[in-house]
Amino acid sequence: MTEIAIATEDVLTEVVCERIADELGLSIFMRLRKGGSGYLKSRISSFIEMARQYPVLVVTDLDDKQCAPRLVREWVGEQLVPEQFFLRVAVREVESWIMADREKFGDFIGSRIDFDPEQLTDPKAKLLHLASRAPRSVKEELISQRSAIASQGVGYNTKLSEFVAEQWCPHRASASSDSLRRTVERLSTLIT
């Protein structure tokens, strides 16, 4: 089994990467996460150097940046990148990848997912809006109980991580997310 290292912005993205690796038959031997894209960007040269020895997957959100190729150019610059280095960008946030498994996420959240998650300017806000109408057990974890305006609850990462680990399917989600599909295809080169 091929082993890879992963570097992510947050725990939710880490769980998504674990699920992708599991589905592809890859084993994660190292997890690098200190919080946020700033950490990833500041360590990009180290990750590239590590990829000369073993595969390294770095996943960041596009957020409000214009396009993924530009973000990659800004981060990598003129550095020579080994084939085992995978800098992948979730358009616009990893939440769009999660919602792209329309069937299972729709069942989880109690709503039809009849929109293109990658076309959302703020996928997390859309997810929280859907959660405001979700079954109580989901709503109470995802939505903060202290405000009238939907904001992230204390169980947000835990509840979504459980969903990803137990129900989310990267291949199914890839049908509705081009950035996820390209990530899965690119990582598939490690097993061929």
pLDDT digits (tens, 9 = 90+) for 41-94: 999 999 999 999 999 999 999 999 999 999 999 999 999 999 999 999 999 999
Q: What is the pLDDT of residue 149?
A: 54
Q: Is the pLDDT of residue 150 over 90?
A: no
**Cβ-proximal residues to 12 (8 Å cutoff; 6+ apart), any chain:** 94, 95, 98, 157, 160, 161, 164
pLDDT digits (tens, 9 = 90+) for 3-34: 999 999 999 999 999 999 999 999 999 999 99
Q: Is the pLDDT of residue 132 over 70?
A: yes
* Mean pLDDT value across residues 107-130: 97
Fold of 3-93+174-188: Dna Topoisomerase Vi A Subunit; Chain: A, domain 2 (3.40.1360)
Q: What is the pLDDT of residue 162?
A: 98
| 122: alpha, beta or left? (left if phi > 0; alpha if psi -120 to 50) | beta
Average pLDDT, the chain: 95
**Residue 132: Cβ within 10 Å count:** 12
Q: pTM score > 0.75 for this model?
A: yes
At CA 63, angle to CA 58 and CA 69, rounded to 5?
60
Q: What is the pLDDT of residue 81?
A: 97
Q: Which of 2, 47, 4, 45 is nearest to 25 (CA)?
A: 2
Enumerate the domain spans of the chain.
3-93+174-188, 96-166
pLDDT > 70 fraction of the chain, expressed in percent and rounded: 97
Sign of the torsion angle spanned by Cα atoms 10, 12, 16, 18: positive
Provide the pairing of β-strand 3-8 with 27-32. Answer: parallel
